[in-house]
């Protein structure tokens, strides 16, 4: 067998670098060259096969990536940004998502080592699974549900005295099957118009599952909608979570805006320790109903919301068609409001109820006398 010359090894490395540079140069690279070669172990990283099989043993998987794109220990990059970008694109081709992990710094705050791991890396935290609890405490979502202890990772180390970074450690084997490129998180990222569509669907009382079906129908098929139903549900959950901290202020702002722009619109609210305690509102039509049919008004404080533990109170009158009309509405944090306590006491007083009923049903009584009595 004819021995391989050193010049051939060098040219093989150069070809390998050139291929990766050509692939990466399609994106906006502003840090100069992608990486520079080093002598030593780089020559042993050149393989004869074009692809590596992804299944190499039971519960052991290797990304099916062209060998020219596989990083190796000692490979140098011109910046940490380019190093991370390379591994992210390697992961995308290989069929797994990555996330930034631990890092260490020099005294001057420059990153010394940076760990990037498979999205399935780490150990899942043990949490209580008591589904019979009745304390009402909301359980936190398990954000580490994808962690199954995968050891695939890469560690970049700063080359002292330069802005360069080199591969300090590279572990390419996974303990889980790899996915199609179209199923990865990066490929499923939503556009602004898609997020806007989900928000509009939500305000129209359309859930994320139905919104995903509508989107697929409008686009001509599910193959043209990259995000999954689960992605739609996650976005809806995140929107609700953001609104949850600001919903009281949002409704107060909305009501104040209506009071400023709608004719004859009334809105009042009260806070206790920066928490919305109660609010009342009535529009122009409700005030008209009150002026015409406000001789007797009833209110019902039995409608309690589940999420906010507030009581919805509609104020109701009877029009000349014997139909109920709303003359105002309110939200109360509890029934300790003085008005409600007085009303409850009055209507539990048997003597008062008898005298009041006799007064109301006296058909011979003149209006002015009724008002006085």
Q: Please tell me the distance from the alpha carbon of residue 98 to that of residue 120, in angstroms, as a whole number.
A: 8
At 135, the pLDDT band (50, 70, 90 cuts) reads: very low
At 194, the pLDDT band (50, 70, 90 cuts) reads: confident
CB distance 178 to 94 below 8 Å: yes
At 80, the pLDDT band (50, 70, 90 cuts) reads: very high
Nearest alpha-carbon partner for 317 in 359, 278, 286, 353: 286
10-65 pLDDT tens trace: 444 544 444 444 444 443 333 334 444 333 333 333 333 344 555 555 678 989 88
Least confident segment among 58-62, 188-192, 237-241, 313-317: 237-241
Local structure of residue 248 (DSSP, 8 states):
H
Query: For residue 37, what pLDDT is reported?
Result: 38
Query: For residue 134, what pLDDT is reported?
Result: 40
At 155, the pLDDT band (50, 70, 90 cuts) reads: very high
CB distance 179 to 95 below 8 Å: yes
CA distances from residue 330 to 205, 299, 309 in whole angstroms, order as listed: 23, 10, 14
Using a pLDDT cut of 90, give the percent of the chain over it.
Answer: 23
Least confident segment among 24-28, 303-307, 323-327: 24-28
Structure tokens at 98: 């990555």
Q: Please tell me the distance from the alpha carbon of residue 300 to that of residue 255, in angstroms, as a whole number.
A: 22
Query: For residue 167, what pLDDT is reported?
Result: 94
94-120 pLDDT tens trace: 889 888 888 888 887 889 999 999 988
| CA geometry: angle 268, 301, 360, nearest 5 deg | 100
Question: Per-residue pLDDT averaged across 160-164, rounded?
Answer: 90
Question: Per-residue pLDDT averaged across 208-226, rounded?
Answer: 84
Question: Exposed e or buried b for every residue in 32-43, given b needs 16+ CB within 10 A?
Answer: eebbeeeeeebe
Query: For residue 129, what pLDDT is reported?
Result: 47
Query: For residue 148, what pLDDT is reported?
Result: 83
Q: Using the structure block, give the residue that is written with the tokens 């009581």.
A: 311
Query: For residue 328, what pLDDT is reported?
Result: 92
Query: For residue 84, what pLDDT is reported?
Result: 92
Q: Is the pTM of this model over 0.75?
A: no
CA distances from residue 64 to 21, 54, 55, 174 in whole angstroms, order as listed: 20, 5, 9, 12
pLDDT over 50 (residue 183): yes
pLDDT over 90 (residue 8): no
pLDDT over 90 (residue 127): no
pLDDT over 90 (residue 122): no
Local structure of residue 12 (DSSP, 8 states):
H
330-343 pLDDT tens trace: 888 765 545 454 44
Average pLDDT taken over every residue of the chain: 75
At 79, the pLDDT band (50, 70, 90 cuts) reads: very high
Return the SS3 of 122: coil
Query: For residue 126, what pLDDT is reported?
Result: 63
Query: For residue 244, what pLDDT is reported?
Result: 59
pLDDT over 70 (residue 202): yes
Please report the DSSP string for 138-162 in residue order.
PPPP-TTTT------EEEEEE-TTS
pLDDT over 90 (residue 231): no
Beta-carbon contacts of 180 under 8 Å, excluding residues fewer than 6 positions away, are 95
Query: For residue 7, what pLDDT is reported?
Result: 41
């Amino acid at each position: 067998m004819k021995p391989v010359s050193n010049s051939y090894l060098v040219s093989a490395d150069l070809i390998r670098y050139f291929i990766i540079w050509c692939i990466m140069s399609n994106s906006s690279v502003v840090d100069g060259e992608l990486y520079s070669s080093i002598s030593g172990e780089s020559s042993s990283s050149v393989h004869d096969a074009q692809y590596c099989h992804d299944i190499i043993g039971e519960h052991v998987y290797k990304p099916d990536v062209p060998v020219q794109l596989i990083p190796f220990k000692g490979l140098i990059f011109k910046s940490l940004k380019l190093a991370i970008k390379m591994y992210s694109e390697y992961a995308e081709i290989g069929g797994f998502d990555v996330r930034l992990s631990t890092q260490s710094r020099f005294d001057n705050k420059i990153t010394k080592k940076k760990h990037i791991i498979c999205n399935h890396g780490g150990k899942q935290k043990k949490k209580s699974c008591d589904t019979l609890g009745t304390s009402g405490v909301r359980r936190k979502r398990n954000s580490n549900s994808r962690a199954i202890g995968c050891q695939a990772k890469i560690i970049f180390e700063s080359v002292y005295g330069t802005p360069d970074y080199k591969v300090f450690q590279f572990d390419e084997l996974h303990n889980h099957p790899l996915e199609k490129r179209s199923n990865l998180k990066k490929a499923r990222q939503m556009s602004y118009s898609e997020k806007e569509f989900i928000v509009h669907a939500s305000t129209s009382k359309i859930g994320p599952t139905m919104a995903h079906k509508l989107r697929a129908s409008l686009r001509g098929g599910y193959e043209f909608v990259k995000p999954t139903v689960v992605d739609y549900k996650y976005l809806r959950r995140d929107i609700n979570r953001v609104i949850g901290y600001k919903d009281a202020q949002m409704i107060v702002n909305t009501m104040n805006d209506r009071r400023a722009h709608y004719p004859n619109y009334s809105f009042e609210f009260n806070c206790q320790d920066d928490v919305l305690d109660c609010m009342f509102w009535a529009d122009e039509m409700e005030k008209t109903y009150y002026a015409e049919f406000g001789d007797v008004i009833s209110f019902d404080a039995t409608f309690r919301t589940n999420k906010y533990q507030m009581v919805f109170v509609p104020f109701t009158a009877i029009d000349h068609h014997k139909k109920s009309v709303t003359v105002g509405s309110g939200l109360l944090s509890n029934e300790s409001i003085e008005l409600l306590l007085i009303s409850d006491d009055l209507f539990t007083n048997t003597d008062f109820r008898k005298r009041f009923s006799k007064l109301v049903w006296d058909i011979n009584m003149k209006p002015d006398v009724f008002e006085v009595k």
